Structure 1
C-alpha cells in the first residue's frame, strides 16, 4: 500500500516478522509476549493505548527485564507520536538500563548515550509533526 512520500506501509505482521529477523544480526534476544497497540499514537487519539501504558509501567518498575534487555520495534514512531510521552518512555528505558532496537534503521540505541538519546527524541518529534492533522499550527 502506498503511504505518502513514496513510502510503503508495512502490516503489523510484516513489522513483527522483520523485528524477529533482526535478531540474526543484532541478537541474541529473549522474546516475551509483544506489546500491542490498536489505538492511535497521535495527540488527538480518542482511545487509550493500554499496552503503551503497560510498557511504560514495566520499564519504570523493572518488570520489563534486566538491564541490557532490548525493546525491539519497527520504527521510532512506534515509541510515540507525542514528544512528551516518547521522552518519558526513553527516560524509563535509560533509567532501567534498557536498549531500544529500531528495525527499520537496522540499529540498536542506548538511551544512556547522548547521541542515541538525541536521535530517538528527534525521531519522535518528527513523528509527532507528521501525525498532526493538516492545517494544525506548527
Structure 2
C-alpha cells in the first residue's frame, strides 16, 4: 500500500517538474525569438556627429566610426518596445544616408532609440553600447 502511494507521489511530482521545465523552455524560446536585428543597409553615409546627452556638445566623428556604429547596430538584437523617454542618460549619434535623410540613434545599456522608435536590447548584447562609450570617452573627455 505504501509503495503505491509513494509511486503516485513520485509520478505527480515528476509530472509537475516536467511541466515547469517545458514552460521555462517555451518561454525562453519565445522570448529569444522576439529579438531581431534591424538589418540596416547604407551604401554611403555622411554628416556623422556624436552629441553629448548631458551637455549638448556636438562633435564630428569619422566615417569609419559611423560605419562601425551601423555594423554594431545591425549585430545588436532588439525588439520594439514602448519606453518612457529618459533624459540625460545617453549620447546620440546622427548621420545622413545616401539619400540625404538624417537618422538619429540614442544608445543606452538596455535600450536604444533609432529614428524615434524605442527598442529593448537583448541581455549580454552590449557591443554597440560599449563602442559608443568608447567614442564618448574619446570626444567628451
**TM-score w.r.t. length of structure 1:** 0.26
Query: Whose helix fraction is larger, Structure 1's or Structure 2's?
Result: 1
Query: Whose strand fraction is larger, Structure 1's or Structure 2's?
Result: 2
**TM-score w.r.t. length of structure 2:** 0.26
